[in-house]
Amino acid sequence: MTLGRVAVVGGGINGLCIAWELARRGWSVSLFEQNRCLAQTSSASTKLLHGGLRYLEQGHLALVAESLRERGRWLRDVPQHCHWLPLLLPIYKRQRRPGWQWRVGLGLYDGLALGQLPGSARWLKPDEIRQLHPQLQSGGLLGAWQFWDGQMDEQALGGWVLDQAQRAGVEIHEGCDVREVTTKGELTVQTSVSGITSNYAFAWVVNACGPWAVDLLERSEIPSSVKLDLVRGSHLLVPPSPALALPKQGLFVEVPSSRRIAFLLPYKGELLVGTTEEAQTLHEPVRVSAAEQKQLLGLVEHYLPAWLPIAQQQGRWFSGLRPIVRSRADLSSASREADVQRDGRLLSIFGGKWTTARSLAEQLVNRAPFNGQP
Ligand SMILES: Cc1cc2nc3c(=O)[nH]c(=O)nc-3n(C[C@H](O)[C@H](O)[C@H](O)COP(=O)(O)OP(=O)(O)OC[C@H]3O[C@@H](n4cnc5c(N)ncnc54)[C@H](O)[C@@H]3O)c2cc1C
């Protein structure tokens, strides 16, 4: 195994983007992934490249603006694996937030996108909605805002990043569990095939273990200034039936009797419904609970009742674990911003979003120790 000067631990989208960016700037990089790259949180998202309209409500303006810039960049640079998706935000007689609040939010959301949109948000009357989305629950429907966000083929876009990183010279070592790190740049690695444990020394180590970032520090007896809240999010995927055409428009909706937001989206020929938010620990299995299944089927029943029978019979589930940097806010409104901790030759990153993985990598590499010469 040829070792480079920087070791990146974790082959999710954040670790891959960091490794790629370091290699682009002339560093020699080895990436260690305990299983397969892109098989954890980064393959279980809602597949949106978005600013997160709902984060505006919580005042995370800088994060939304950055995410919208990054959305535009993915769509511009990798159009073969992502596209613009029209979304409907239906407004009903009885719902938590008034229609005007969304109108203000969408004005700001589109404004922050700085002219990169295929069209600005517009108001649709119920008969126009029926044309675009005939299956949407129409009882009490006052109208809908139509706006745009980005959607990715998550596997393909992640694969593209992996390929770019390898072309830039990153050595990827899958099946390599990093058991311990030190602040001097040392790693203890156990390979899953042979079970053999080896020690390596690097100039720098980046801990990009996503939900496991704090666990790796604790295991290595390095105090973490950051606490992570781990939040399971589950999704339901439903194939269309011959009698039920897949809508071209996505839905951005309030979860009934809650302020939470959920999505019902066309995704690679199926209906994708999500997500839930359930706090859990690292040691519990990351899989959908009966309560989450009920919640997601409830969303289908409420907004797309014609889809309920096929969702019950043929729906498939997947779940992911979101690492959220702990704040005083509740889990829904806590910021998705990332944090970095430096301990000697070890840098750890916490949190983040798929959409902003490239800018997070650039921010990390723009700072010490990586802003000098390799
Ligand atoms: C339900 C849900 C929906 C989401 N929807 C969106 C969305 O629509 N848009 C968006 O922008 N973001 C979304 N996100 C957020 C986004 O998915 C995450 O921010 C991102 O995928 C995190 O990537 P990561 O690389 O930090 O973590 P991961 O993808 O989990 O990668 C960490 C990697 O580290 C490896 N690892 C851990 N410990 C070790 C070790 N000791 N040795 C070696 N390897 C190790 C793991 O195996 C894993 O592969 C969503 C998240 C969830 C959970």
Q: How far apart are CA 349 and CA 242, in angstroms?
A: 46
Q: What is the pLDDT of residue 2?
A: 42
- Cis before residue 182, ω within 30 degrees of 0? no
Instruction: Give 71-129 pLDDT, tens digit per residue.
Output: 999 999 999 999 999 999 999 998 878 888 889 999 999 999 877 888 889 999 999 99
CB within 8 Å of 371: residues ≥ 6 apart: 365
Percent of the chain scoring above 90 in pLDDT:
82
Task: Yes or no: say if 228 and 321 are a contact pair by the CB < 8 Å rule.
Answer: no
CB within 8 Å of 224: residues ≥ 6 apart: 213, 214, 217, 218, 341, 348
Radius of gyration for the chain, computed over Cα atoms and rounded to the nearest angstrom: 21
Q: Is 209 in the pocket of ligand 1 (CB under 6 A)?
A: yes
Which structural domains are found in the chain, ordered by start? 6-42+156-227+335-365 (3.50.50.60), 84-150+228-325 (3.30.9.10)
| Residue 276 Cα: closest atom of ligand 1 | 1
Q: Whose CA is nearest to atom 25 of ligand 1?
A: 12
Pairing of strands 48-49, 82-92: unpaired
Q: How far apart are CA 92 and CA 251, in angstroms?
A: 13
Q: How far apart are CA 102 and CA 86, in angstroms?
A: 16
| Residue 42 Cα: closest atom of ligand 1 | 21
pLDDT at 249 over 80: yes
Q: How far is the CA of 299 from the centre of ligand 1 (A)?
A: 25
pLDDT at 340 over 60: yes
Q: Is 354 in the pocket of ligand 1 (CB under 6 A)?
A: yes
Q: How far apart are CA 126 and CA 103, in angstroms?
A: 17
Q: Is 211 in the pocket of ligand 1 (CB under 6 A)?
A: yes
Q: Is 212 in the pocket of ligand 1 (CB under 6 A)?
A: yes
Q: How far is the CA of 93 from the centre of ligand 1 (A)?
A: 37
Q: Whose CA is nearest to atom 14 of ligand 1?
A: 45
Q: Is 33 in the pocket of ligand 1 (CB under 6 A)?
A: yes
pLDDT at 312 over 70: yes
Q: What is the pLDDT of residue 371?
A: 86
pLDDT at 38 over 80: yes
Q: Is 165 in the pocket of ligand 1 (CB under 6 A)?
A: no
Task: Yes or no: say if 350 and 10 are a contact pair by the CB < 8 Å rule.
Answer: no
* Residues paired with residue 198 on neighbouring β-strands, in sequence order: 189
Q: Whose CA is nearest to atom 41 of ligand 1?
A: 178
Rounded average pLDDT over 287-307: 97
CB within 8 Å of 345: residues ≥ 6 apart: 183, 184, 185, 202, 203, 204, 205, 369
Instruction: Give 220-247 pLDDT, tens digit per residue.
Output: 999 999 999 999 999 999 999 888 999 9
Which is higher by pLDDT, 83 or 257? 83
Q: Whose CA is nearest to atom 27 of ligand 1?
A: 210
Q: How many of the other CB atoms lie within 10 Å of CB of 215?
A: 15
Q: What is the pLDDT of residue 333?
A: 55
Q: What is the pLDDT of residue 374?
A: 60
Instruction: Give 8-26 pLDDT, tens digit per residue.
Output: 999 999 999 999 999 999 9
Cα dihedral 28, 33, 34, 35, rounded to 10, equals -140
Q: What's the pLDDT band for 334 if we cut at 50, 70, 90?
A: low
Q: 16, 40, 346: which to mutate for ligand 1, most atoms within 8 A of CB?
A: 40
Rounded average pLDDT over 344-365: 96
Q: Which amino acid is at 222?
A: I
Q: What's the pLDDT band for 1 if we cut at 50, 70, 90?
A: very low
